[in-house]
A and B are shown apart, each in its own frame.
Chain A
Amino acid sequence: MKIKRKIIQIDEEKCTGCGNCIIGCAEGALAIVDGKAKVISDNLCDGLGACLGECPEDALKIVEREADAFDEEAVEEHLQKQTAAPKEKTMACGCPSAQIQSFSPCAQANQPTHAPASDASALSHWPVQIRLVPPNAPFLKGADLLVAADCVPVAFPSFHQTLLQGKAVMLGCPKFDDAPAYLEKFSTIFKTAGIKSITVVIMEVPCCAGLPRIVEKALQESGAKIPYNQVVVSTRGKIIEERRMA
């Protein structure tokens, strides 16, 4: 039965999906779904607000609305299920973006060895996350811009030497981040920062395709004519495609 009571409300615009609120909720009423925190089921939320102080973005608040009553038995059942559920599930087939892979040490041992590259960082600025870089950042002025998907620096071993050298970098994830906000930001950057060239580097997984789409649309909206390259990296850390787009 629905009653009018206090319950948590999440501002999806503000939520960054960091998951801090999940730790603060003893009932397990919150989960990250598609990169945003969500109340799994109203009857799991007691509305006392223990999660509020955990949110760095101030995205949570208590509201009063019609909702299922808090059900402590449902909470116990839900927590039992969570404990019983396997922590990792490897799919034989399915979405390659979500597929968990363990790379065999034998395959790594068979890689040809080479002289170690310089271990100096090629990063010339901070911050690097798209959402943290302001469009008027001084390091963007007249820069060769590298737009990289979050997973690339981890998957591609010579990221610093091969891709980052001499470039300003902006990192983001088209699957979990705020795409419209990124579109607006890139459009402003392309209009105002005098970018010399753009290289978009993404993983081979399908969800990464959103990143070049954002950049292309921003280029279109800005009306700027900037040389634009696309690089695709495999989950095994190889460049599998390089294309000059414009």
Chain B
Amino acid sequence: MEKHAYTCPYCSETFDALENLKSHMLQAHKTDPIPRPEGVIRLTVNGEEHSIRVEPEWTLYYVVHDILGLTGVKLFCDRGACGACTVILNGRSVLSCMTLAIECDGMTVETAEGIANKNHPLVENYVKHHCMQCGYCTPGFVVTSKALLDKNPNPSAEEVQQALAGNLCRCGTYPQHTKAVLETAQQLAEQGKEAKK
């Protein structure tokens, strides 16, 4: 098969593959060889890459829930007071209803669905300890708890309560979350010990 020559428009250097040309342009000329249309962002959500055209006023909540169909983010208070829309954005837990999607270009997003799909023990422990009643706020708690354990793998009960103090639960399931998070921390620690053996 005939080889195509790919020529850099800035320095005329040629490449035998398009990917190599792209890498060259990004590294040597700091420019995207195929510029994206205005308003398009790239998001990696639960490990899957997405390219989405967003309006400037769209929130991350809207994109994740309405565009990508991930119902684990919930609209509860609608003004950053309840934690039900929490996602992990580049490793930090944030309120997706208070985050503009257009500012999230190139970032990674983790939702309750992603945490569950990875079989994180937190989810099973949430079920075991009945950390839900109506369940509407539960995914937000799961995400906040996961963010806590990512940063602090061995939290005390008080640290769990402090971490989850920004998540509202109208059904009042709060004490059951402490049990689930502490048991998860213990299990993860044991798994870590096993892995080191």
- Do they bind each other? no
Which A residues are closer than 8 A to B by beta carbons? none
